[in-house]
Amino acid sequence: MTSKTPLYEKHIALDGRMVDFAGWLMPVQYKGLQEEHQSTRNHVGLFDVSHMGEIRVKGPKALEFLESVTTNLVGQLEPLRAQYNLLPNDKGGLVDDIYIYCLEKNTDYLICVNASNDEKDWQWLLSHKIDGAELTHESSKWAQVAVQGPGALKLISEVLDHDVTLFKKNQILRGSFNGGEFIFATTGYTGEMGGEIFISSPQAESLWDKLLQLGSAYHIAPSGLGARDTLRTEMGYPLYGHEISDTLNPFAANLGWVIKSDQKNFLGKSEILAGKAQGLTHKLVGIELIDKGIARAEHRVKKNSDNNLTDIGWVTSGTFSPTLQKGIALAYVALPEAFIGNQILIEVRSKLFRAIVVSLPFVKK
C-alpha cells in the first residue's frame, strides 16, 4: 500500500508530478528539475521529506544503547546538537546511515532514518535494545520539510520567529508553531545553507503555507525528489541502496571519518574492520563525463589499456549536473584505477563514453 505524507494535497494543488518512492507518493518535480535545482543553489528550495522515519530513544541508558549500535561518538553530542552516524550490521555492511539529534544529553535522542529503511531500522534497534533505553516509533507523529539555499536561514528565522541566521551546522532549535511542536536543525542533503524542520503532523500544512507565503520574497521554489537527487549527487553524498548497503564496507565509501573504532566498541565493529584489513578492492569516486551522455546506476566502468578493455567497476548514481552542465556519476572503481585524473570509460547501452575520475564534491561550496 502506498502512503501519503501530510502535505500530499499541497503537492496536488501545486501540480506536483507524483511518483511512488519507498512506498510513499512523493513529488518528483513541480515546474521542472532544472529550475528547482537552480533555485536551491541560488535562492531557496522547499522540499517535503516527511517520508523519512523517526525513532525516539529515551531513558537513563539511552546514550549507552546508542553508542553500542552506532559507529560515531554519540557521547560527544551536546544538547541541541545533531550528528551524522551509521548503523552497522553484523556482516561488515550497514543497516542504514542516520542522523541523531540530541534533545537532552544522555537521556533523549531523536533518530532520523531513511524512508526505505524505516521498519527495518526499527526492528533492528528493537532486537538490540537494552534495559533503561526506551524506544518509540514516531514516524507518524512527525512531518518534515527541508528549506535549503542561500536565503533559507533568513526565511526560516521569519517563519519560526527566532533568529537562526548565525546557527552553525548541526545546531538545533526547539519550539512551537501554530499549536504544534517543531524541531529545527541546520542539516540538509544539498550542500547549501538552510535546515530541516520536524513539525507535528497536524501543523505541516500551515508551516508549508507560511514558508511559501513569506518565501516569495526569497524566490522560493517547491522542489521535488528529482532536484533533491541531483543536488546531493553534486555534493557526493551517499544514498542508501546505491553508495552504501548491507554488504558494502563503509570504508570503501569514504566514510571512515564516521567510524570511531579506536575510541569505542559497537555492534559489527570487528566485521567492518576485518573487511578493511582483508583489503578493500574498490573505492567510491567521482566521475565526470567527457563525452556528452548520462551514466546511470549499474552501468559498468571500463579501462582501455593497450587495446585491452577491462571491467574496473560500476556506477552507483549518475545524473546530468545542472550546475556543471555535464554528466556526473558516483562509482566504485578498482583501487589501482581510483586516482584523480584517470581517464576511463562508462558503458551506456553498449556504447562507451569517455570520462575522468575527479575529486569530490563535484560542486565546491
Q: Are 45 and 39 in contact (CB under 8 A)?
A: yes
Q: What angle do CA 49, 254, 230 make, to 5 degrees?
A: 40
Tell me what percent of the residues of the chain surpass a pLDDT of 90.
Answer: 98
365 band by pLDDT with thresholds 50, 70 and 90: confident
Say what the pLDDT of residue 356 is: 98
The residues with which 332 forms a beta bridge, in sequence order, are 284, 314
DSSP annotation of 168 reads P
Q: Is the pLDDT of residue 307 over 90?
A: no
Report, as an integer, the average pLDDT of 352-363. Answer: 98
Tell me what percent of the residues of the chain surpass a pLDDT of 70.
Answer: 100
Phi, psi dihedral angles at 346 (to 5 degrees): -115, 125
Measuring CA to CA, which residue among 65, 95, 70 is closest to residue 84?
70
Q: Which residue has the cell 553484523?
A: 90
* Residues 188-197 pLDDT 10s: 999 999 999 9
Domains and CATH numbers, the chain: 3-52+140-234 (3.30.1360.120), 53-137 (3.30.70.1400), 281-358 (2.40.30.110)
Q: Are 234 and 359 in contact (CB under 8 A)?
A: no
The three cell numbers locating residue 106: 544522555
Report, as an integer, the average pLDDT of 278-285. Answer: 97
Q: Are 281 and 334 in contact (CB under 8 A)?
A: yes
Q: Is the pLDDT of residue 342 over 90?
A: yes
Q: In whole angstroms, what is the distance from residue 314 CA to residue 331 CA?
A: 6
Whole-model pTM: value is 0.97
* Residues 147-185 pLDDT 10s: 999 999 999 999 999 999 999 999 999 999 999 999 999
Say what the pLDDT of residue 15 is: 98
Say what the pLDDT of residue 251 is: 98
Q: In whole angstroms, what is the distance from residue 350 CA to residue 343 CA?
A: 19
* Residues 40-89 pLDDT 10s: 999 999 999 999 999 999 999 999 999 999 999 999 999 999 999 999 99
Measuring CA to CA, which residue among 31, 24, 30 is closest to residue 8?
24
Alpha-carbon distances of 230 from 223, 254, 308, rounded to whole Å: 11, 20, 34
Phi, psi dihedral angles at 223 (to 5 degrees): -130, 145
* Residues 10-44 pLDDT 10s: 999 999 999 999 999 999 999 999 999 999 999 99
Report, as an integer, the average pLDDT of 267-278. Answer: 97
Whether cis (ω within 30° of 0) applies to the bond prior to 361 is yes
Q: Is the pLDDT of residue 256 over 90?
A: yes
- Determine the angle formed by the axes of helices 33-42 and 225-234, rounding to 10 degrees: 50
Say what the pLDDT of residue 197 is: 99
Q: Is the pLDDT of residue 305 over 90?
A: no
Instruction: Give residues with Cβ within 8 angstroms of 63, minimum separation 6.
Output: 74, 75, 105, 106, 107, 109
The average confidence (pLDDT) of the chain is 98
The amino acid sitting at 67 is E
276 band by pLDDT with thresholds 50, 70 and 90: very high
Say what the pLDDT of residue 1 is: 80
Q: Is the pLDDT of residue 306 over 90?
A: no
Q: Are 30 and 222 in contact (CB under 8 A)?
A: yes
What does R_g of the chain's alpha carbons equal in angstroms? 21
Length of the chain: 365
